[in-house]
Structure 1
Amino acid sequence: MGTEVVLVAGLTDHHVADEIWRRSPDSALVRHDLSRLAGGTIRRWVDGVLTELELAHGCVSCTLRLDLLPLLEELNCRVIVHLDPVLEPEAVCFALAETDIRVDAVVTVVDRATWLADATGEDTLAERGMGAADSDERTVAQVVVGQAEFADALVLAGDGDPVLDAVLDRLNPLAPRQDLSALDVPALFAAIPANARRGGFDDGFGSLLYGGPSLEPAHGVSVVHFAKQRPFHPMRLHGAMGVLLDDVVRARGRVWMASQRDEALWLESAGRSLRVGNLGSWRESGHGPAQELVVITTSPEPEKITTALAAALVTDEELALIDELEFADPFTDWREEE
């Protein structure tokens, strides 16, 4: 029958994976604990049976490649995978894409009491004592935002919060949501739409408004959609980065830089962390070069984001001389910006 998996993610303690397992006849429950990964050890349970494994390299990618993937292929059934709290389901699905394992659903548990503060904060996992390895420099915001954004369904713990609901409506509008206190597994899975991601991902050139989120503000939450047919001046964009960090839950999109006009860059922020990477050539993408960024913000003045980004574009004079000008470019090495 092959292996199909349900990935259950979330930074909070929960029993959701166990409940899905109980509702899935002839399935297996796999749980990982990466708290000792920095020392080269992981703990893994299969249907409650503990195994401790030693890895030559204590890193998340080795855990996936050397343990989880071979295990899932060996089980050859429906597997409910309770991910370690610091694992991001997108990274797991990226690894699974090289196998015949099918992702049936990604379920993320969101703690209403802490999620929004985590998603707009600057704490690193290491500062919380949760780093998956000595080299793990991720922030808590990167993890919780990524977990919620990539989910096919969301389970919410704690009391309702209209601001959080408005954020999730815009971060992941397709995912059905249920309260943890009234979890109905069959109903939750039945509500997952036919066009849900189910572990799939694009190359960075897909729609930035996945699921068609509302662009109207609600409860102090706004979506800024910035799209322009003009490159950024790299130094001015670097100086404007603060608007993508303050009161921002998520910013993501494609960037066209005057200093690298043939290359499409990918910009992504969560909370107070921001990363810039290289998507490849605009020519090979099928997209014409252009700016497109989507920002989910709780700022009372979201228009300041548009104003700051517009001011970072090259001027008419710079555009006329663009082939002759040399632009200092702090983004050349695709380093993570903090």
Structure 2
Amino acid sequence: MHATIPVTVLSGSLGAGKTTLLNHLLRTADERDLAVLVNDMGKVNVDAELVAEGSDLDVENGVAELSNGCICCELTDDLETAVVRLAREREFDHLIVESSGISEPEPVAKLFTTASRVAARYEIDALVTVLDTRLFLDAFAGDEVPERTGETDDSSTDGETRPLSDLLIEQLETAHVVLLNKTDLCDPDELTEATALVQALQPSAETIETEFSAVDPDSVLDTDLFDSGQLAELAGWKRALDESDDDQSDHHHGGDGHHDDGHAHRHPDERYGIDSFVFRNRRPFHPERLVSFYRELPTEVVRSKGTAWVAGRDVKVGLSQAGQSVRATVRGPWIASLPAVDQELYRANRPGLEWHDDHGDRQTELVFIGTEFDEERLRNRLTDCLVDDGEWEHADALENPFPTEAGEAVVVREP
């Protein structure tokens, strides 16, 4: 037995093969004693029954069941209670937490990594995501994907349906292991494309092709892949931004508000035509032109994310695009918009912060990842979206659909 119990957090869209994987692991885990927490959005937890049916465990004694909600939000307290009770009442070697098909794995992982009674008993081993490979390709190709019942935005208060590409991105970009499942339904070229997309979106992931979720248990259990400090850094967009920061360390900012971004880019895997680039600028976007840019974004761009400076909005506008879905949120205020005393405090605590004499920390930093796109054309279009001097002077009078308050989200484009 470990001093602390290792935990695998399992995620994937509805129907991807998570329960099939659980059954497979319960049958093939050899000498490991596994405990499983399963979560289903329905009133009856079918997943728990299926897991028990395909293993030597039963729902009463082997599977702690959570239902009628999402593990990572409504049932966080129940999850904490359940895992502590499991550790107190039973002896086992490894815990698997299967989140529902509409859940994001990162909040679940944080429960086990923050200072709490849970973290004292458990340690995260790996975050594992199961992808329905055919559905994954369709979602990022802009093809119509059948709606899945219950796939709603967990943060939504009005039951808003959340695009499948958004869910897949959240589950993929934090994964240490990605199972490209149902490969028997894809041809070799499609598998090559899927592998390339996974590596571009999450370069650190170990990618395994599977049929019926059949995988060597050692590939997903006791892997020691988790690093509590690396959750946010796993994603391809974050890595591209960090690498671009290094490349741009010697560049200077002009006094006219423009930032020479040096055409910073990287090549995640040229063999598959996957590439990315970072667009930086210290002149704000015209809001309507920026919306038009994202609504006309070519399907070759499968992922973009970052912070935009939008004229008329003195807050950091977070932009997140996955496939045909684009959303804007507020990521907080610019430090330069705060009172002078607060600015000094923030700057003292962030010695590496780039600071412009006129604009402070206000700047756009957007990462674009895709397959064989025309980078120069996209850069030129983004530059055309910037305000001219006259528009900048009257920015507050511009029509502006972007959010202004923390927690507010705006759908810029939907499938």
How far did 1:217 drift? 4.3
Q: Which residue in the other structure is 1:279 paired with?
A: 331
Give the Cα separation in 2 of the matches to 1:131 and 1:310. 36
Task: Say whether 1:184 aligns with 2:194.
Answer: no
Q: Which amino acid aligns with 2:95?
A: V
Identify if the C-alpha distance between structure 1 residues 168 and 303 changes in structure 2 by more than 3 Å, giving closer, same or farther. farther
Task: Say whether 1:86 aligns with 2:126.
Answer: no
Unaligned runs of at least 5 residues, structure 2: 244-265, 336-345, 354-360
Task: Say whether 1:65 aligns with 2:118.
Answer: no
Identify if the C-alpha distance between structure 1 residues 190 and 304 changes in structure 2 by more than 3 Å, giving closer, same or farther. farther
What does 1:98-177 correspond to in 2, within 5 Å? 99=116, 100-101=118-119, 102-121=123-142, 127-131=147-151, 135-157=159-181, 158=183, 160=188, 161-177=191-207
**Counterpart pick for 1:330 among 373, 395, 401:** 401
How far did 1:307 drift? 2.4
How far did 1:188 drift? 5.6
Q: Deviations over 1:121-167 (max 9, x none)?
A: 47688x33243688141111111222121101112221542222221
- TM-score, normalised on structure 2? 0.66
Give the Cα separation in 1 of the matches to 2:325 and 2:143. 7
Cα contact 1:10–1:108 (8 A) shared by 2 = yes
Task: Say whether 1:231 aligns with 2:292.
Answer: no
- Helix, strand or coil at the partner of 2:37: strand
Give the Cα separation in 2 of the matches to 1:197 and 1:48. 36
Identify if the C-alpha distance between structure 1 residues 109 and 276 changes in structure 2 by more than 3 Å, giving closer, same or farther. same
Task: Say whether 1:242 aligns with 2:295.
Answer: yes
Q: Which residue in the other structure is 2:32 paired with?
A: 25
Give the Cα separation in 2 of the matches to 1:209 and 1:330. 28
Give the Cα separation in 2 of the matches to 1:330 and 1:109. 36
Cα contact 2:39–2:71 (8 A) shared by 1 = no
Task: Say whether 1:291 aligns with 2:364.
Answer: yes
Q: Deviations over 1:295-334 (max 9, x none)?
A: 2223643443322222111224545x36x76333210354
Task: Say whether 1:301 aligns with 2:374.
Answer: yes
Q: Which amino acid aligns with 1:273?
A: S
Unaligned runs of at least 5 residues, structure 1: none
Q: Deviations over 1:104-135 (max 9, x none)?
A: 2101122333311123447688x332436881
Give the Cα separation in 1 of the matches to 2:142 and 2:79. 31
Give the Cα separation in 1 of the matches to 2:169 and 2:163. 10
Identify if the C-alpha distance between structure 1 residues 93 and 116 changes in structure 2 by more than 3 Å, giving closer, same or farther. same
**Counterpart pick for 2:306 among 240, 253, 257:** 253
Cα contact 1:234–1:257 (8 A) shared by 2 = yes
How far did 1:267 drift? 0.9
Cα contact 2:36–2:95 (8 A) shared by 1 = yes
Answer with 181-190 or 307-316: which moved more: 181-190
Give the Cα separation in 2 of the matches to 1:185 and 1:59. 26
- Helix, strand or coil at the partner of 2:134: coil
Identify if the C-alpha distance between structure 1 residues 91 and 66 changes in structure 2 by more than 3 Å, giving closer, same or farther. same
Give the Cα separation in 2 of the matches to 1:235 and 1:225. 21
Give the Cα separation in 2 of the matches to 1:168 and 1:197. 21
Cα contact 1:44–1:52 (8 A) shared by 2 = no
- Helix, strand or coil at the partner of 1:269: strand
Q: Give the structure with higher Rg (CA).
A: 2
Give the Cα separation in 2 of the matches to 1:24 and 1:266. 47
Cα contact 2:302–2:369 (8 A) shared by 1 = yes
Q: Which amino acid aligns with 1:88?
A: E
Q: Deviations over 1:186-225 (max 9, x none)?
A: 2566877575867x347x9x94527967356443433232
Give the Cα separation in 1 of the matches to 2:71 and 2:202. 25
The number of residue pairs the alignment matches comes to 325
- Helix, strand or coil at the partner of 1:224: strand
- Helix, strand or coil at the partner of 2:267: coil
Cα contact 1:223–1:294 (8 A) shared by 2 = yes
